[in-house]
Chain A
Amino acid sequence: MNAPLLDVKNLRVDLPTERGLLHAVRGIDFHVNRGEMLCLVGESGCGKSMTSLALMGLLPRRAVRTADHIRFDGVDLQTLPEKGMTALRGARMAMIFQEPMTSLNPSYTLGDQLCEALRAHRKVTAAEARDRAVHLLERAGVPQAADRMRQYPHQLSGGLRQRVMIAMALMCGPDLIIADEPTTALDVTIQAQILRLIRELQKEFGTAVVFITHDLGVVARIADRVAVMYAGEVIETAPVGELFARPTHPYTRGLLNCIPVRGKTLPGSHLQAIPGVVPSLVGEVRGCAFANRCSFVQPACAETPPYVALNDRHAVRCVHAQTEMAEAA
């Protein structure tokens, strides 16, 4: 198998706060293969958005990013000067945010904004840039694309704006797109259309996507592979089918059990809630971060659990996985 497009080892993000150092991302490893859809899933505060900003080099100024390596197509992004990152961003790595209204400039036409990215990175004429923009808008399902080029963001509905953002991300033909909750602000019928579009275009252009979401329904339907995050760590990673069929970390199991599912959950019955709340990430977290909410907690959980590979594609950060593996061997 070829080397992964993106390979991240021991990524950490620390944020100084009034109460002390907040460890938003606590040493995560993951990789994304070319043309693959990796879903980063987790609840608020688990570090999934900080991870995406760290990859793009867009963290808030006071945040501190460290890693053993963040290798993108063989180059460690940490060794790149800011100029090198700028050349990469938008051209080979693009980002789609949750709220397109805040990432589109209200005072420029869509055409200007779409063409700007391409002309900043590639030597193309204005007419070539325009043609590509119209083509991608059409491909993204924007009706009357040529006319829309003269419109401003406020003239579009939320669904259309997100289609424009997707077209914009594709302008330079990137190898990797990071999509941070791109459909969370949309209605369900529009969400299904946008997700389908992302999936189709990803396959058509062979783009790798890191898709960040809190919604397990979205994960099930769109992912190739999933990394589940909790309290700044990746606690389980597996291909999507295996994750839903054999969730192994107690947190992953808890997440899957607490949503009502048609045909599975008895209406009106008690849902299996996960008790307690996420621990504070200010200061050092000792041992397993999930231990205080876990019904399988044991003394060994006071130590940092190992990252156990159940097979070559499924890994879990839990002491129980280790004992299960030992028993099976």
Chain B
Amino acid sequence: MNVDVDPTPTPSDVIALELCALTRVYQLKRGLFRTPGQIKAVDDVSLRIRKGETLGLVGESGCGKSTLAKMLLGLLAPTSGNVLINGREIDPTRREALARSVQPIFQDPYSSLNPRRTVADIVGVPLRLHQVGTHAEQAKRVKEMLDLVGMPERTHRQYPNQLSGGQRQRVAIARALVLRPEILICDEPTSALDVSVQAQILNLLLDLKAEFGLTYLFISHDLGVVEHLVDRVAVMHRGQVVELGTREQIFARPEHAYTRMLLASALTPEPGLGIPDIERALPLAVA
């Protein structure tokens, strides 16, 4: 495998991604005569991710983690606050510059790939949009990327509906990496996959990080996966980061009540432990 990016497997002191007091407010219109309400989907979130680091972002549905991801990708403008990449503020009018540094991998590989294009076409789109290299160079780079993510050559001419879920997610990863970004925003990348396939994709993400020195923001509700993959964890609840710490701190010595509840709810495959009594232990959590 050829490496033309400086491989930095361990986190350095360089800040790759910085979120400063990032806030996103949604206006709600409820009926004709009622006063409009507000929801702070992301409420004053400040985070720093070092180059080569994997930061896990955990929380339940509606906690604001996907809204946060959209703002980092420039798909949604923050209401206030800003995002810095390598110390430079992102310019919302120049999405293509952002796309060169930050790329997403989404949860559902069934809806994120264009069904009318072949695998090679899909992976080549970013190169064509950004006019990187000649036609032949683009084709070469697409093939290299697909080889790297473990897509056999015969699949390069196939369409997404001919692929399994795991293969589709490999294609999505190849497309995200083809512009050689420094930062990947992984939004529940294995939640739609079977566990045996999930392991293949997690291994691939680990390999790619070591190879390219990538920085990951890894969003997931699966605490087992998060613990396996990340260096630090941010726990989100109702739009705010309620706890931030290293993997060891969060998993061994959680401090915030919500973090403790999340950890208590996680069902590890250990028979005999029974089902945790969340309601009695932490009464704030009744569904």
- Chain A residue numbers with a CB within 8 Å of B262 are 188-189
Interface flag for A215 (CB, 8 Å): yes
What is the distance, in angstroms, from A248's C-beta to the closest C-beta of chain B?
16
Name A241's contact: one of B227, B272, B286 (CB within 8 Å). B272
Name B278's contact: one of A44, A186, A192, A267 (CB within 8 Å). A192
Interface flag for A157 (CB, 8 Å): yes
Q: Which residues of A193-247 have CB atoms within 8 Å of chain B's CB atoms? A: 193-196, 199, 214-223, 240-241, 243-244
Complex CA gap A163/B206 in Å reads 39
Name A270's contact: one of B60, B203, B266 (CB within 8 Å). B203
Interface flag for A123 (CB, 8 Å): no
- Chain A 274-292 per-residue mask, 1 if CB under 8 angstroms from chain B, else 0: 1101000000000000000
Complex CA gap A274/B164 in Å reads 14
What is the distance, in angstroms, from A76's C-beta to the closest C-beta of chain B?
34
B194 touches A214 (CB 8 A): yes
Given contacts A43-B196, A216-B195, A220-B271, A271 and B228 within 8 Å (CB-CB):
yes
- Chain B residue numbers with a CB within 8 Å of A110 are none
Given contacts A189-B278, A262-B227, A265-B228, A163 and B287 within 8 Å (CB-CB):
yes
What is the distance, in angstroms, from B136's C-beta to the closest C-beta of chain A?
32
- Chain A residue numbers with a CB within 8 Å of B195 are 43, 214, 216, 255, 258-259
Complex CA gap A193/B196 in Å reads 27
- Interface size (B, Cβ < 8 Å)? 45
Interface flag for A254 (CB, 8 Å): yes
Given contacts A189-B60, A255-B196, A221 and B271 within 8 Å (CB-CB):
yes
Given contacts A255-B195, A258-B198, A268 and B206 within 8 Å (CB-CB):
yes
Q: Which residue of B lies closest to A157 (CB)?
A: B287
What is the distance, in angstroms, from B160's C-beta to the closest C-beta of chain A?
15
Given contacts A159-B287, A259-B195, A261-B224, A196 and B277 within 8 Å (CB-CB):
yes
What is the distance, in angstroms, from B221's C-beta to the closest C-beta of chain A?
6
- Chain A residue numbers with a CB within 8 Å of B14 are none
Q: Which residue of B lies closest to A188 (CB)?
A: B265
What is the distance, in angstroms, from B195's C-beta to the closest C-beta of chain A?
6
- Chain B residue numbers with a CB within 8 Å of A270 are 203, 206
Q: Which residue of A lies closest to B252 (CB)?
A: A262
- Chain B residue numbers with a CB within 8 Å of A261 are 224, 268-270
Interface flag for A328 (CB, 8 Å): no
Given contacts A195-B275, A259-B195, A220 and B270 within 8 Å (CB-CB):
yes
Complex CA gap A220/B270 in Å reads 6
B196 touches A258 (CB 8 A): yes
- Chain B residue numbers with a CB within 8 Å of A217 are 224, 266-269
Q: Which residue of A lies closest to B277 (CB)?
A: A196
A220 touches B202 (CB 8 A): no
- Interface size (A, Cβ < 8 Å)? 52
Interface flag for A53 (CB, 8 Å): no
Given contacts A187-B221, A192-B265, A141 and B286 within 8 Å (CB-CB):
yes
Interface flag for A260 (CB, 8 Å): yes
- Chain A residue numbers with a CB within 8 Å of B272 are 241
Complex CA gap A157/B61 in Å reads 12
- Chain B 220-252 per-residue mask, 1 if CB under 8 angstroms from chain A, else 0: 010111011100000000000000000100010
What is the distance, in angstroms, from B213's C-beta to the closest C-beta of chain A?
15
B287 touches A188 (CB 8 A): no
Given contacts A196-B277, A220-B271, A241-B271, A160 and B287 within 8 Å (CB-CB):
yes
What is the distance, in angstroms, from B286's C-beta to the closest C-beta of chain A?
7
A271 touches B194 (CB 8 A): no
Complex CA gap A43/B165 in Å reads 12
Interface flag for A191 (CB, 8 Å): yes
B206 touches A218 (CB 8 A): no
- Chain A residue numbers with a CB within 8 Å of B261 are 189
- Chain A residue numbers with a CB within 8 Å of B276 are 192, 196
Given contacts A187-B221, A261-B224, A268-B228, A221 and B203 within 8 Å (CB-CB):
no
Q: Which residue of A lies closest to B258 (CB)?
A: A189
Complex CA gap A240/B274 in Å reads 12
Given contacts A221-B273, A260-B227, A254 and B196 within 8 Å (CB-CB):
yes
Q: Which residue of A lies closest to B9 (CB)?
A: A268
Interface flag for B32 (CB, 8 Å): no
Complex CA gap A262/B223 in Å reads 9
- Chain A residue numbers with a CB within 8 Å of B273 are 220-221
A274 touches B199 (CB 8 A): yes
B199 touches A271 (CB 8 A): yes
Q: In the complex, which of the residues A191, A215, A268 has the most CB atoms of chain B within 10 Å of its own CB atom?
A: A268
B221 touches A267 (CB 8 A): no
Name A267's contact: one of B196, B197, B227, B275 (CB within 8 Å). B227
Q: In the complex, which of the residues B251, B262, B265, B277 has the most CB atoms of chain A within 10 Å of its own CB atom?
A: B265
Interface flag for A190 (CB, 8 Å): yes
- Chain B residue numbers with a CB within 8 Å of A262 are 224, 227, 251, 268
Interface flag for A22 (CB, 8 Å): no
Q: Which residue of B lies closest to A156 (CB)?
A: B287
Q: Which residue of B lies closest to A46 (CB)?
A: B194
What is the distance, in angstroms, from A214's C-beta to the closest C-beta of chain B?
7
Listed in ascending order, the chain A residues whose CB lies under 8 Å from chain B are: 43-44, 141, 143, 157, 159-160, 163, 186-196, 199, 214-223, 240-241, 243-244, 254-256, 258-262, 265, 267-268, 270-275, 277
Q: A141-B287, A216-B195 are in contact. List 13 more A-B contacts (CB 8 A).
A: A159-B287, A163-B287, A196-B275, A217-B266, A220-B268, A244-B269, A244-B271, A258-B195, A259-B224, A260-B228, A268-B229, A271-B228, A274-B196
Listed in ascending order, the chain B residues whose CB lies under 8 Å from chain A are: 60-61, 164-166, 194-200, 202-203, 206, 221, 223-225, 227-229, 247, 251, 261-262, 264-279, 285-287
